[in-house]
Amino acid sequence: MPSPLEGRRFWIAGIGGAGMSAYALLARAWGAEVRGWDRFDTPYLQHLDGIEVDVSDEPPAPPEGWESYVSTAFAGRIPGKSRAELLTELVSLRDSIVVGGAHGKTTTSGMIAFCLERLGLDPAWLIGADIPQLGGNAGTGEGWLVVEGDESDRTIAALRPRIAVVTNVDLDHHTTFGSRTEVEELFEQWLANVSEVVRGEDLPPYDGPLTVAGLHNRRNAATALAALELAGVPRKQAEAELADFRGASRRLERRGEAGNVEVYDDYAHHPAEIAATLEALSDGGRLLILFQPHLYSRTRHLARELAEVLATADVVAVTEVYAAREEPVEGVTGKLVVDALAERRPGMEVAWTPSVDEGAAYLASRARPGDRLLTVGAGDVDLAAATLLDALA
């Protein structure tokens, strides 16, 4: 039978992103000819062998006669259809499991795809981070399609999978939603159009053997197992494979050890996510954190809540806000979190270090044998891990 996208030609702006790079791989596997552009040579481009990619400050004109799809990062600047429209079509072409929710969706999606792969069920997957044991963030098998959905721009509501999963509900995207109630309404609207549904918050944490640490991962595991059962996988078989799952990149990822100091990195950027990460690391010695706030809107609304969570550490350095898709907001900087920390816990060793390099130097100078250092945030703070390990060696 012909591939479902045979004869189509896709040009993708922002092809180096975690999502668009994955969509590009799957579209090509399903028969489309694919090309693209991005401003930077990102790690995800390494997975796109055989796909022509232009890397330049400004985008070239889309090729004549090609369908143009544009990532959220460049929406409004480049003509074309949205990222969401491409994902909606891909989901419609295969029996799909879509995982949404405020927290844990990357790991939960990874768990589902990993178990399906290990059980020989040949899944495809589109996940927002690399799953090292699967070889990347995208797979092109012939079985179930496992997708990490996104509520940040409400586009998850357009997806029509066979199985819909909501890990949990929280207010994380303040430029899109005015309240948690609006987030709940979005997910209810989505779930009303799907016949098979998993609600992770209704499930008790999984109590079986797991390699990944933390109560939050036990909740992720329970959610993944429920989805796998709906997909026809016997629970005992899924549990046996899940025990060997070692996580997603930048999710409580151990980056190394030097000078008897362990260095970890995590993508957490919301107070609930940071709290879950710190809980998973709470069984050792001192904890030193380099935190990079993500988005001006989130920092403005959650500075005090972020400080409340970070105050449980021993030493904290805070960088400038990682802007991502937002323009600067007057008066909103990472120092808001520093000031809230000083107020929350007077006398705590806390520093305002606007650059990631400054923050890394600050923590390295204060680390002692037996400490654990954690870089945390959804921007480029992960680059500090190598700097820290070099400084501690």
Which SS3 state, helix, strand or coil, does residue 30 take?
coil
What average pLDDT score do residues 169-177 get?
A: 85
**Among the ranges given (66-80, 194-208, 344-358, 379-393), the one the predictor scored with the smallest mean pLDDT:** 66-80
> Sorting pLDDT into bands at 50, 70 and 90, what band is 2?
low
Q: What pLDDT does residue 285 have?
A: 84
Look-up of token digits 């586009």: 155
Predicted confidence at residue 383, as pLDDT, reads 94
In this predicted structure, the answer to whether residue 302 has a pLDDT above a threshold of 90 is yes
Q: What is the pLDDT of residue 371?
A: 96
Question: Which CATH code is given to the segment(s) 94-242?
Answer: 3.40.1190.10
So what's the pLDDT on residue 284? 73
β-strands 67-70, 9-13 pairing: parallel
Interval 377-392: pLDDT, tens = 999 999 999 999 999 9
**Residue 205 corresponds to which amino acid?**
P
Residue 50 has pLDDT above 60, yes or no: yes
pLDDT score, position 372 = 96
Position 282 scores a pLDDT of 85
- The domain locations on the chain are 9-82, 94-242, 253-392
What digits encode the pLDDT tens for the residues 109-129?
A: 999 999 999 999 999 999 989
Q: Where are the beta strands (DSSP E) in the chain?
A: 9-13, 33-38, 52-55, 67-70, 81-82, 96-100, 124-131, 136-140, 145-148, 163-166, 196-199, 253-258, 261-266, 287-291, 315-318, 349-352, 372-376
**CA angle, residues 301, 307, 312, in degrees to nearest 5:** 150
pLDDT of residue 261: 96
In the predicted model, what is the mean pLDDT of residues 218-245?
98
Q: Is the pLDDT of residue 1 over 80?
A: no
Task: Taking residues 83-106, report their average pLDDT.
Answer: 95
Predicted local confidence at residue 141, as pLDDT:
94
Identify the three-state secondary structure at position 251: coil
Tens-place pLDDT, residues 186-229: 999 999 999 999 999 999 999 999 999 999 999 999 999 999 99
Report the distance separating Cα 384 and Cα 11, nearest Å: 34
Domain 9-82: which topology? Rossmann fold (3.40.50)
CA dist 284 and 203 (Å) reads 29
Specify the pairing of strand 163-166 against strand 136-140: unpaired
* Buried/exposed code over 255-274 (b: 16+ C-beta within 10 A; e: otherwise): beebeebbbbbbbbbbbbbb
Q: Per-residue pLDDT tens for 249-300?
A: 999 999 999 999 999 999 999 999 999 999 999 877 899 999 999 999 999 9
Is the Cβ–Cβ distance between 365 and 358 less than 8 Å? no
Cα-based torsion angle of the residue sequence 366, 321, 248, 203 in order, rounded to the nearest 10 degrees: 110
Predicted confidence at residue 177, as pLDDT, reads 83
Q: Does the pLDDT of residue 66 top 80, yes or no?
A: yes
- Within 10 angstroms of residue 298's Cβ, the number of other Cβ atoms is 25
Res. 5: pLDDT tops 70:
yes
Superfamily of domain 253-392: Mur ligase, C-terminal domain (3.90.190.20)
